[in-house]
Chains A and B, each alone.
Chain A
Amino acid sequence: MKVKLWGVRGSLPAPLLPEQQYQKSLTNLKQFHEALSTDPNISPEKFLNSLPSYMSKGFGGHTACIQVQTSEQNIIVDGGSGIRKLGEVLMCGPCGLGRGEVHILMTHFHWDHLIGLPFFVPLFIPGNKIHIYSVQDNAEESVRTLFKKPNFPVPYEALGAEFIYHTLEPRKTVHFNDLKVTPYQLDHPDPCWGYKFEHNNKTFSYCVDTEGTRVSRKELGEDLALYQNVDVMVFDAQYTFLEATEKVNWGHSSAPIGLDIAMREEIKKVYFVHHDPAASDEKIMIAEKQTRDYYKTRLKALKQQEAEFSEVDWEFAIEGTEFEL
């Protein structure tokens, strides 16, 4: 099972401003100049690869969209602005010939998870079939809203592809050939459903958007399964921990909450996403450092208590991150 994160920002696309790009380039060039003084043969590529990803590439500005692929199946989750680039890739295959069949799972219908759909080219190509899946029964209404004049010049009825809407049953597994997908409810101001993917004894959970209000096993109830027997989890960490305590009921979480769930449920790896659009790359790194400090103190306390726990490999994901299970 391969997963690619096409968009890791939340709420609003956040491209790097020209001035920010200039400052980043300036910082990197200065550091490269310093590196040359100690190693005159260092190549630009080697230097850039030695930097943390947020310095060389940045976290990225596209909103939520991920792709889950197996040898038999290709599933998209959410239509944030990141779906536009994914569409360009798909157009190189059957979608470009009007013979494509696209499957899009929707977690919910907030703008940041829909905003890319009007620019997802496969929708415009006659012959393509676009399957949209959601637990909520108003997916068609939400998609049609995107293609309404005067807000968008192409009306829904003029789209070339055929749309097929599927309503999923909560917490009931659906089979996409060799891939099993189960929706579980998340904690968000409007109904929002995360997805658990299972393939060849490997499990991936997509837990975005969520505030993580319910964390105890008792509170999670039937939704606890989203976090159990999971190899990799993608979790909402829009805010720093302090911001999250201030923004109650805003619908987003912080990395320490995700870490504590992962440690308790023995999740091996966590990618934190849905970065705040107002957060610069430097600010996200500060949040990462705070999370690292938190994680260190938790590990130390647990070791001192000789408690049973599971260490977690984690990172704040950048756009374009790919991993294989």
Chain B
Amino acid sequence: MKIEHALEKENHFELALSGSIDEDAEFNAIPKIQKNLLVVDFSQVTMINSCGIRDWVNWTKTLDSNVQVHIKKCPKFIIDKINILKGFLPAKSLVLSFYTPYYCENCDSEKQYLFERGVHFQEQTADKAAFVDYDLEVLCDQCKTAMSMDVITEKYFNFLGVK
């Protein structure tokens, strides 16, 4: 695992990770988070295994209790882990964006489309059901025909509270 950047911004701390998050990941190398909001960019992470998950979960436990964690640009395998493992995300965390795979039956190509919170999805709250834009039209870059969402929706979007 590599720390692509660890930047203290005005209102939040931005952390971008890359590579494999596995038993060799060194979360201790991440500087102390001095802001109340931590935004973690997973777009360049290529893999996470059980040891990486364990180290990630243990590291998030070391954050001050008032630190809110937002994660963005999550690859599908991160969302899969969030769905399988309750506790992957600390309390008070939010998923800001994640990739959803789409498939073109015409030319057998795949595409990862970035779903953004408030635009393409919203998690369930006390007074609102979860929302996912299942009807979003995603066009194939090659043949320009409409692509199909390539996930089992009730499983993939389960973390949002979708029923």
A residues with a Cβ closer than 8 A to B are 215-216, 218-219, 241-242, 244-246, 248, 254, 256-257, 259-260, 290, 293-294, 297-298, 300-302, 305, 307
Q: Are B85 and A241 in contact (CB under 8 A)?
A: yes
Query: B51 is contacted by which of A215, A242, A294, A302 (Cβ under 8 Å)?
Result: A215
Q: Which residue on chain A has the smallest CB distance to residue B46? A: A305
**Contact status A294-B54, CB under 8 Å:** no
Report B54-72 residues with CB < 8 Å from chain A CB.
54, 57-58
Which B residue sits closest to A245, measured CB to CB?
Answer: B57
Q: Is the interface of A mostly helix, strand, loop or mixed?
A: helix
Bound form: Cα–Cα A256–B86 in Å = 15
Taking CB atoms, residues of chain B closer than 8 Å to A244 are: 54
Assess whether B84 is in contact with A297, with CB atoms less than 8 Å apart.
yes
Do B77 and A301 have beta carbons less than 8 Å apart?
yes
Bound CA span A218–B81, Å:
26
Q: Is the CB of A260 within 8 A of B49?
A: yes
Q: A245-B87, A305-B47 are in contact. Are A257 and B77 (CB under 8 A)?
A: no
Nearest chain A residue, comparing its CB with the CB of B50: A256
Between A241, A290, A307, the greatest number of chain B beta carbons within 10 A of the residue's beta carbon is seen for A241
Report the nearest B residue to A254, measured CB to CB: B50
A260–B22 alpha-carbon span in the complex (Å): 9
- Which chain A residues border B51 with CB–CB below 8 Å? 215-216, 257, 260
Interface range for B: 10 to 19
User: Do A215 and B58 have beta carbons less than 8 Å apart?
Assistant: no
Chain A hits for B77, CB < 8 A: 297, 300-301
Q: Which residue of A lies closest to B56 (CB)?
A: A245
Flag whether B116 is at the interface (Cβ < 8 A): no
Using Cβ atoms and an 8 Å threshold, which residues of chain A touch B108?
A: none
Give complex CA distance A74, B51 in Å: 36
Docked pose: A99 CA to B84 CA in angstroms: 54
Chain B residue nearest to A248 (CB atoms) is B58
Return the contact of A245 from the options B47, B49, B54, B84 (Cβ within 8 A).
Answer: B54
CA distance in complex: A246, B54 (Å): 10
User: Which residues from 2 to 53 on chain B have a C-beta closer than 8 Å to any C-beta of chain A?
Assistant: 22-24, 46-47, 49-51, 53
The residue in chain B whose Cβ has the minimal distance to the Cβ of A215 is: B23
Within 8 A of A (CB), among B74-124: 77, 80-81, 84-87
| A298 near B85: Cβ-Cβ < 8 Å | no
Closest residue of B by beta carbon distance from A212 = B51
Whole-angstrom distance between the Cβ of A5 and the nearest chain B Cβ: 23
29 contacts between A and B (CB under 8 A): A215-B23, A215-B51, A218-B24, A219-B23, A241-B50, A241-B53, A241-B54, A241-B85, A242-B85, A242-B86, A244-B54, A245-B53, A245-B54, A245-B58, A245-B87, A246-B87, A257-B54, A259-B50, A260-B49, A260-B51, A290-B85, A293-B84, A294-B50, A294-B84, A294-B85, A297-B84, A298-B49, A301-B47, A301-B77
- 10 nearest interchain CB pairs? A256-B50, A216-B23, A215-B23, A297-B80, A301-B77, A245-B57, A260-B49, A215-B51, A242-B87, A260-B50
Contacts of B54 on A, CB cut-off 8 Å?
Answer: 241, 244-245, 257
Complex alpha-carbon distance, A242 and B46, angstroms: 22
Which chain B positions have C-beta within 8 A of A300? Answer: 77
Give the Cβ gap from B112 to chain A, nearest Cβ, in Å.
11
- By beta carbon, the residue of chain B nearest A220 is B23
Closest Cβ of chain A to B102, distance in Å, is 15
With A216-B22, A216-B23 known, 18 other A-B pairs at CB within 8 A are: A215-B23, A215-B51, A216-B51, A218-B24, A219-B23, A241-B50, A242-B87, A244-B54, A245-B58, A245-B87, A254-B50, A256-B49, A260-B49, A290-B84, A294-B84, A294-B85, A298-B49, A301-B77
**Could you tell me the distance in whole angstroms from the C-beta of A295 to the nearest C-beta in chain B?**
10
Cα distance, A66 to B50, chains bound together (Å): 27
Nearest Cβ on chain B to A200's Cβ, whole angstroms: 32
Contact partners of B47 in chain A: CB under 8 A: 301-302, 305, 307
Q: Which residue among B22, B46, B49, B57 has the maximum number of chain A CB atoms within 10 Å of its CB?
A: B49
B77: nearest residue on chain A (CB-CB)? A301
Bound together, the chains give a CA A164 to CA B73 distance in angstroms of 62
**CB proximity of A299 to chain B, nearest CB, Å:** 11
What is the minimal beta-carbon distance from A51 to any residue of chain B, in angstroms? 26
| Nearest neighbor of B80 in chain A, beta-carbon distance | A297
